[in-house]
Structure 1
Amino acid sequence: MQEPGRRRSSATWLALIYGLLVVHASLYPFGPWTWPTGVTPSWLIGLPWPRYWGPFDVWVNVLGYLPMGLLTFAAVVRSGGSRRAGLLLAIAGLSALSYLMESLQYFLPSRAPSLADWLLNSLGALLGGLLGGLLHHFGGLQRWHGWRERWFLQPSEGALALLALWPVGLLFPAPLPLGLGQLLPRLRELSESLLAGTPWEIVSGAEPVVRPLPPGLEAIAIALGLLGPALLALSAARPGWRRVFLVLGALLLGVVGTTWSTVLNFGPQHAWAWLTPATWPGLGLGAALAWLACLLSRRAAAAWGLVVLTALIALVSEAPADPYLAQSLQFWEQGRFINLYGLAQWIGWTWPFAALAWLLWRVAQRDPTR
């Protein structure tokens, strides 16, 4: 049995995932890698001061590293480490990570290394680590641990990390509301491009006609998009009345995440445009089934979650992209938001597959509490 101070924490998973997302944002688009013209190896040690930068650059660099500093400190302390070790890793470790990312940008022509970015990232990590220290000093991390123990049984850290990432995945516009997991069409396109000009080239002939899902299937897909995260939460939750509020929380997160995505892509005046005649029945059906699932055991909720997410992936893979999305994406691709936007894209594509892996592991566990 693990000691209380050395229990696995969802903060560890979130810190690792956040770190990967920071690497993605720092090195996107990952090519082409070239040696900078007229630069000697010794000159690469330093970072130049940027010619132009504004308030957006300040906020995005500070706020980008602040949560990671907090999560890193919490991960160290919740895993049994000392406050000093947590602060050292959050401040010095993340500052070193930022310096490495900025130095690697020398080799990406589309990116510009910046001393100001490194200093602002280091400030964000410092503030995050100090915030974590304050929360720990005043019992905030202990209260979070107590809340988690009352609402969830162990092991739950993987499920909590996935639930925290779900609203982030919703920020990238899906082919239909709550329809995450459209990765298979992207893999098919990638395989066709890689095999082009080879003996194994895929000859598809005429372009297939992609039709939107019928309203009934669209409503079912929306229901599955809400039911999947709810079953993930229920597979880790303690039995009792709290499960009802977990389902309500999933519904609210789904609505807020999809609305915010619509605002980012199409403007505040279209915030509720995603609430179509097919959306309301889908949300109602998904919420009703999720509340009925509160009666299931943890293992049964995990097993049904596998079925629901598999069906969701199958339906979403057949849904066409929003015809108005291409114009919106041009704004992102030409602006400074694309590095952050790409994070939501990858989370949205892969989230159901990661949830499937965790649920499959959950079903395979021997659990006396069922």
Structure 2
Amino acid sequence: MSNTARRRSSATWLLLAYLALAVYASLYPFWPWTWPPGMDVWGLVGVPWPKRFQVFDVQANLAGYMPLGLLAFAAALRSGLGMRRALFWGLVPWPLLSFAMETLQYFLPGRVPSLGDFVLNSAGAVLGVLLGLLLNAFGGLQRWQDLREYWFQPHCAGALALLALWPLGLLFPPPVPLGLGQWLPHLRSLAIDALQDTPWALQWDDDAVQDLARALPPGLEAIATALGLLAPSLLALSVARPGWRRLWLVLGAGLLGVLTSGLSTVLNFGPLHGWAWLTDATWPGLAVGGTLAALFCALPRRLCAALGLVSLSALIALVSEAPADPYMTQSLQAWEQGRFVSMYGLAQWIGWVWPFAALAWLLGYVGRREL
């Protein structure tokens, strides 16, 4: 079997992640599921044409499916499936997915199925494939493969996909700078709602609620920030090739985390507050995290992966004790539902899931025999 056929493409993992996000954006808020009033089974086959288009909806639907076409085409081509199969996977599944999502929106009163959305989604997938063909014709995909082989070891597709998703998760302001993975308050709310009016209903006293709402001490906040920078750095080091390029990867991770956090603050609270998140607790955390990551550049890949597991576990434990941002809810009230779903809702889900996905990948990676 050729090396091309055995190649694992990071585009495959990015495609699966983006597919989950596209389904989420199409079916949010997922409740309540009701049969459309006055509609029979055959009425579900047709999707109505919208009476008018909004500029944001046109842009979102057209651009939203472009990555699906591009990633599917690139993943199939770089995995050795050939041009015909790459064109098939880039063009055929996504109009079918869009039509299925528009049909399911009949059952969600808060969503409006639209034939225009289907047409724009399909056109977006075609544009993604055309972009992939253009990149392939000019050697863009091969250049990416050469760049990947220069910087990273084999079997790094999952890690590269996670590293690409990490800054997207930071776009939704985390409870602590760079602190992703805060599930505890949301799980608590889901458990209370699910068990309400049952014999197993949860009763949270005021002290417990106040404990969850109490801000982290500055020292713990600095440690959480350091771990938030250290975790993706160790993930990159676990698949990086030896030499000075490992230090460049650490510096790039730090710069990307700082710039993305600043962009998130600008988007939510305005340009005047872009660097307000750099507090007396944040600066020491960034310094400690960056210094440790630079020192760990000299360690073997397996040890970096093991330290990454420890860092992620500690990060999840710390951010679970941090309160949610009290100003975030007020900021989101200024956004329309569609824009929230398209941007912040997806970024929030990435921020929740990313540390757990990285933990799962590192656990499998540490146990590989080829290391």
Class of the TM-score when normalised by the shorter of the 2 chains: over 0.9
Structure 1 residue 2, shift from structure 2 partner: 5.9
DSSP 3-state at the match of 1:336:
helix
| 1:244 matched residue in structure 2 | 247
Give the AA of the match of 2:340. I
1:113 and 1:207 map into 2 onto residues whose CA distance is 46
Q: Which moved more, 1:86-95 or 1:110-119?
A: 86-95
Please list the CA deviations of residues 179-213 of structure 1 after superposition, one character each: whole Å capped at 9, or x if unmatched: 10101332232223222332322222224323211
Query: Would you say the 8 A contact 1:87–1:133 is kept in 2?
Result: no
2:341 and 2:2 map into 1 onto residues whose CA distance is 39
Give the AA of the match of 2:339. F
What is the identity percentage for the equivalent residue pairs of Structure 1 and Structure 2?
62
Question: 2:311 pairs with 287, 308, 311, which one?
Answer: 308
Query: Would you say the 8 A contact 1:13–1:157 is kept in 2?
Result: yes
| 2:26 matched residue in structure 1 | 26
| 1:63 matched residue in structure 2 | 63
Structure 1 stretches lacking a partner, 5+ long: none
| 2:17 matched residue in structure 1 | 17
2:198 and 2:57 map into 1 onto residues whose CA distance is 44
2:2 and 2:16 map into 1 onto residues whose CA distance is 21
Q: Which moved more, 1:102-111 or 1:264-273?
A: 264-273
| 2:189 matched residue in structure 1 | 189
Please list the CA deviations of residues 35-62 of structure 1 after superposition, one character each: whole Å capped at 9, or x if unmatched: 1112232222222121232221121111
2:228 and 2:2 map into 1 onto residues whose CA distance is 35
Give the AA of the match of 2:314. A
Counterpart check, 1:235 vs 2:238: yes
Q: CA RMSD in A?
A: 1.5
1:186 and 1:160 map into 2 onto residues whose CA distance is 28
TM-score normalized with structure 1 length: 0.95
Counterpart check, 1:336 vs 2:370: no
| 1:280 matched residue in structure 2 | 283
DSSP 3-state at the match of 1:16:
helix
Structure 2 stretches lacking a partner, 5+ long: none
| 1:215 matched residue in structure 2 | 218
1:356 and 1:188 map into 2 onto residues whose CA distance is 22
Give the AA of the match of 2:81. G
Q: Which moved more, 1:357-366 or 1:121-130?
A: 357-366
Give the AA of the match of 2:239. A
1:329 and 1:125 map into 2 onto residues whose CA distance is 30
1:47 and 1:122 map into 2 onto residues whose CA distance is 14
Give the AA of the match of 2:88. L
Q: Which moved more, 1:260-269 or 1:233-242?
A: 260-269
1:32 and 1:41 map into 2 onto residues whose CA distance is 19
Question: 1:358 pairs with 355, 358, 361, which one?
Answer: 361
| 1:167 matched residue in structure 2 | 167
1:122 and 1:207 map into 2 onto residues whose CA distance is 52
Please list the CA deviations of residues 301-354 of structure 1 after superposition, one character each: whole Å capped at 9, or x if unmatched: 00000111111111101111122112112223x432121222111110111111
TM-score normalized with structure 2 length: 0.95
Give the AA of the match of 1:223. A
2:363 and 2:89 map into 1 onto residues whose CA distance is 33
Structure 1 residue 92, shift from structure 2 partner: 2.1
1:169 and 1:59 map into 2 onto residues whose CA distance is 22
Matches within 5 A, 1:73-88: 73-88=73-88
Count of residues in correspondence between the two structures: 367
Structure 1 residue 141, shift from structure 2 partner: 1.0
Give the AA of the match of 1:136. N
Give the AA of the match of 1:263. V
Q: Which moved more, 1:259-268 or 1:225-234?
A: 259-268
2:117 and 2:271 map into 1 onto residues whose CA distance is 30
Q: Which moved more, 1:301-310 or 1:356-365?
A: 356-365
1:198 and 1:34 map into 2 onto residues whose CA distance is 24
